Chain A
Amino acid sequence: MNPVNAAAAGTSASPGDTVLFAILAAWVVGFALLTITRRNPVTAVMSLVATFFGLAAIYASLSAHFLAVLQVLVYAGAIMVLFIFVVMILNREEVAPLALRPMRLLGVFGTAYLLWVFANVVGVNTGTEKVPTALPETYGTVKEIGAILFTQFLYPFEAISLLLLVAIVGGVVVSRSHQKEVAAMRAAEYRKQVHELAEHDYPGEGPPAAAAGGGHH
């Protein structure tokens, strides 16, 4: 049994575990608060990266080794780099960053209440003070997760790969520059106006197509 599993398997957490968890939880919550309160988007993104690293450590303390690695690779690595790129493209100082409107504040309080009710229901039904007596040694490893993923969850896996493909194509289509199309539309509009003016000044001298060819005025 590896140390992480041995720690998780005890009936009560050791003091060292409690302190470690408290530090990590404070880290995660603190940087999450920084993320949503900072005015500068670059600071917010960096705080979010710190949050994700803390979360990866917490996942590891839950014996979710594979997910901890994925958290660092995909979230802190790939997704946050994407965020940084877009922040660099769109960086604008905000005049009034917070939208403190009564209805929105009410929404936050409503969510808090809903989650609190949910937590109470869940707490009653699962006896969350309990900690599993013993986790298998291979719990949370790539081999185990992969075996489940490619047998029981094969169709969800294929669906998610399809979703990623759609997201790639959609991302390219949505963010593509429309400058050429807009320029072509404006040019067509301009040609139409020229034809109308020519028709107005020299009526009956032929269809606009001939006027577009030019040369016979």
Chain B
Amino acid sequence: MPTDHYLILSFALFLIGTAGVLLRRNALIVLMGIELQLNGGNLALLAFSRQLNDQKGHVFAFLIIALAAAEAAVGLAILVGLFRSRQTINLDEATLMKR
């Protein structure tokens, strides 16, 4: 398969993720949108990696997966903390950093 097909797919994934982050109010769905964005980036990295016959893109994708794990852990912990103090995970209601 030519590389541009993969690029269009990664384009679509990143866009869907962006729409999820910007248009949803549920903080959990927003975090899932971020995961979709990261995966879109990963797909582009792997496609170019094959195009250029260079495996450094795979290493970057590996690092991004580890980064996504850390981001998910901290993000979900913040959500649990937010829910403890406000009893909501609606982002429109959580606009203040203080209690």
Residues of chain A having any CB pair with chain B under 8 Å: 8, 13, 17-18, 21, 25, 28-29, 32-33, 35-36, 41, 44-45, 48, 51-52, 55, 58-59, 61-64, 66-67, 70-71, 74-75, 78-79, 82-83, 86-87, 89-90, 92, 94, 96-100, 104-105, 107-108, 111-112, 115-116, 119, 122-123, 126, 128-132, 135-136, 139-140, 144-145, 148-149, 152-153, 156-157, 160, 163-164, 166-168, 170-172, 174-175, 177-178
Secondary structure at the A interface, as helix, strand, loop or mixed, is helix
Residue of B nearest to A157 (CB): B63
Asked whether B4 lies within 8 Å of A36 as measured between CB atoms, the reply is no
Instruction: List 26 interface pairs A-B (beta carbons < 8 Å), by A numbering.
Output: A28-B13, A29-B16, A48-B36, A55-B39, A58-B6, A61-B1, A62-B46, A67-B46, A67-B62, A70-B65, A74-B65, A87-B28, A90-B89, A94-B26, A112-B15, A116-B11, A122-B7, A130-B2, A131-B2, A131-B3, A135-B53, A148-B55, A160-B67, A172-B77, A175-B78, A177-B84
Residues of chain B having any CB pair with chain A under 8 Å: 1-9, 11-20, 22-26, 28-29, 31-33, 35-36, 39, 42-43, 46-53, 55-56, 58-59, 61-63, 65-74, 76-81, 83-84, 88-92
Task: Report chain B residues within 8 Å CB of A55.
Answer: 39, 42-43
Asked whether B55 lies within 8 Å of A48 as measured between CB atoms, the reply is no
* Contact pick for B11, options A63, A115, A160, CB 8 Å: A115
Asked whether B53 lies within 8 Å of A132 as measured between CB atoms, the reply is yes
Q: How far is the CA of A41 from the CA of B32 in the complex (A)?
A: 10
Task: Report chain A residues within 8 Å CB of B23.
Answer: 36, 98-100, 104-105, 108
* Contact pick for A83, options B14, B76, B90, CB 8 Å: B76
* Contact pick for A171, options B25, B32, B74, CB 8 Å: B74
Secondary structure at the B interface, as helix, strand, loop or mixed, is helix
Q: How far is the CA of A61 from the CA of B48 in the complex (A)?
A: 13
16 additional contacts (CB under 8 A) given A41-B29, A108-B22, A128-B2 = A13-B1, A21-B1, A29-B16, A36-B23, A51-B39, A58-B9, A59-B43, A66-B58, A92-B89, A99-B23, A99-B25, A122-B7, A144-B55, A145-B59, A156-B59, A175-B81
Asked whether A90 lies within 8 Å of B28 as measured between CB atoms, the reply is yes
